Amino acid sequence: MFIKHISRSFSSRLTAYILVVTAVLFVIAIVIMAVSSRKLIEAEASRSSENILKATVSSIEETIASVEASAQSSVWIVKANRDNPGFMYRITRNLIESNDDIIGSTVAFIPNYYPEIGEYYAPYSYKQEGSEQVESFQMGNEDYDYHTMEWFQVPYLLKSARWSEPYYDEGGGDQMMTTYSVPITDDDGKVFAIITADMSLKKLTAQISSTKPYPHAYTVLVSSNASYISHPIASRILNETIFSTSLERGDSTQISIATDIVAKKAGMRRFVDENGEESLAIFQPISNGWAAAIVCPYRDVLEKTFKMNVILIIVLLVGLILLTILCWATIRRLTRPLSSFSESARSIAEGNFQTMLPRIRSHDEMRQLHDSFAYMQHSLTRYIDELKTTTSAKQRIESELSIARNIQLNMVSTEFTPNIYAMLHPAREVGGDLYDFYDDGQDIQFAIGDVSGKGVPAALFMAITRSSFLFVGGLGLAANEVVSRINRAICEGNKEMLFVTLFAARYHRQTSVLDYCNAGHNPIVVVEPSDNGGEPNAYYLHAIPNLAVGLFPDFEYQGEQITLRPGSRLILYTDGVTEAEDADKNQYGEDRLLQFARQSMALPDAKSCTEALLADVRAFTNGNEQNDDLTILTIDIE
């Protein structure tokens, strides 16, 4: 009877009428907004993706145009110097050095163009990935007949410039690249050579891959023969074409899109991808015959519309429920949120940041409290996520630096003899100190150096300097010539103006002569055996103050010679030894090092001397943090 009374009452009927009218209006509004927002968002997504793709294509075309212009501008230089075959190496090197997008270049001549050289003549210059140094060699021979290659034959026969199909250069640059070939004609219009410019596709593919207007969108780059140059699935690159999947599925829409892309048309098309997901494809041709396309899943494009519709439906349901209970539970409705907020605050305090907050209809202080709690939840969640990401990134960087430290320490020589021993301790994970030596039985060649700065840049410069020493030191040159050649080698491409102090020397066993050159390094310590039981004589070896290596390529380094007494000991070190500090900022110093050197003659061999010096420095600093790389090299003269 009570329920029947309620259903017949004015309040219940009025509530029912309001609910029905409100529900109908809400449904109509939701449908209209859903349809309108879908169209607006779809159109905006299309325009946005198209503009992003055009900007990307424009950037790619600028790079391509730059490479083409560089190659074309070198044609007249080849013509003007074709009577000088050796000059072609300079042309290819200048082409690479003048354009960072070019990693290789050759001037390939027709067969027997230079009878005195032979059938093949193709001076080639290239730059390895990660290196600024340009290398050159003559690549034409019977095993590599470049006259039959695509990059030579096509422009030669057509007498017009051409881009080759992308390819993976194994054993050379070990990366994906493409070649731009320009035919060079003589006064009679006959092609006598082809000049090329090799362009790495690494930067272009990275640029394409980073073009993502939506979280699940992806961008592909397609060559002139429809092969994938860039694709999120790496196995498809250079192995499949854009027709592969569409022909396998028999999807006419995808085939039509692929056909338009190959036909160098720009456009936009909806289709169902291979995963059965509705997507939007925007494609644009590139000037050299390639094409780029962005594929955007509709779930990304319409995500905002979906969220909006969900919110509207929730608002509708909440509104209908609230209208139903408004007449009977006003006070309870007003006080219930406070209780819910209290429970939510307790749950959030316990670490449950995803706690649901009560829904608020009003726009008063209660709404502000709700928004404040929601903002707090969002901020706490974002902070925890960022903290996890930062911690993970820090651990990864520390792991990589630890590996780099092991690699660096393994680079220096560790095969010691009884009369030679060394230690290297970077101040950070990696450092810029270096040493090296080798003993061929007649002479001992050795060096020690200290790169300006610390960390990864210094470590890379250290590796370059050591590699140069290993190469130049084995040529049997005088010490000053060794240092001069190392200086010229590392000055090339040294845009960061890093430098290294270096002491290089060669000890001749037969003559007991030490030939040395000091390029701004700390003076080494010479310890001579005592006479008649007296105290050993220890002194710093005088050296001409040459400049550090890496500053001026034409600087003339001066070397010196000294005759050493048998039984002498040489202690080479970096400033991490003499400038080591204790807690009061007092330095270890040269006097203390000289005092240690005199006492070191009581030690039996180079290893014990090196370890004792390191222990003495550690005892002086007494646990104070190492502020510079520390390297010690000890050599006992037989």
Domain 74-203 fold = Beta-Lactamase (3.30.450)
Which residues lie across from 518 on neighbouring strands?
A: 503
- Both structure tokens of 444: 């001992």
Please return the burial class of 414, using the count of CB atoms within 10 Å of its CB with bins 0-12, 13-18 and 19+: exposed
Q: What is the pLDDT of residues 477-508, one digit of tens each?
A: 899 999 999 999 888 878 778 899 999 999 99
Q: Reduced to 3 states, what is the DSSP secondary structure of residue 65?
A: helix
- Can you tell me which residue has the tokens 């050579």? 193
Residue-wise DSSP of 406-433: HHHHHHS----BTTEEEEEE-SSSS-SE
Task: Indicate whether 593 pLDDT > 90.
Answer: yes
Rg of the Cα trace of the chain?
37
Of 507, 505, 508, 504, nearest in space to 487 by CA: 504
What letter would DSSP give residue 276? S
- Cβ-contact 173, 200 below 8 angstroms: yes
Q: Which CATH number among 3.30.70.2740, 3.60.40.10, 1.10.3720.10, 1.20.1260.60 corresponds to the domain 412-636? A: 3.60.40.10
**At 392, which helix (H) or strand (E)?**
helix 365-411
- Can you tell me which residue has the tokens 């060649």? 445
- Cβ-contact 70, 166 below 8 angstroms: no
Instruction: Please give the Cα distance from 606 to 611 (Å, whole number).
Output: 9
Which residue has better confidence, 396 or 563? 563
Q: Classify the phi-psi angles of 127: left when phi > 0, otherwise alpha if psi is within -120 to 50, otherwise beta.
A: beta
- Can you tell me which residue has the tokens 């000289």? 594
- Both structure tokens of 349: 């305090």
Q: What is the pLDDT of residues 41-64, one digit of tens each?
A: 667 767 777 788 788 888 888 888
pLDDT tier for residue 313 given thresholds of 50, 70 and 90: confident
Instruction: Please give the Cα distance from 490 to 96 (Å, whole number).
Output: 18
Instruction: Please give the Cα distance from 196 to 183 (Å, whole number).
Output: 9
- Lowest mean pLDDT segment, chosen from 359-373, 455-469, 527-541: 359-373
> What type of residue is 327?
C
- Can you tell me which residue has the tokens 């220096």? 412
Which residue has better confidence, 115 or 48? 115
* Mean pLDDT in residue range 125-140: 85
Q: Where exactly are the structural domains of the chain?
A: 74-203, 337-397, 412-636
- Cβ-contact 463, 436 below 8 angstroms: no
* Cα–Cα distance list, 33 to 304, 312, 316, 426 (Å): 12, 10, 14, 65
- Both structure tokens of 103: 């990693």
Q: What is the pLDDT of residues 414-437, one digit of tens each?
A: 788 889 999 888 876 556 788 888
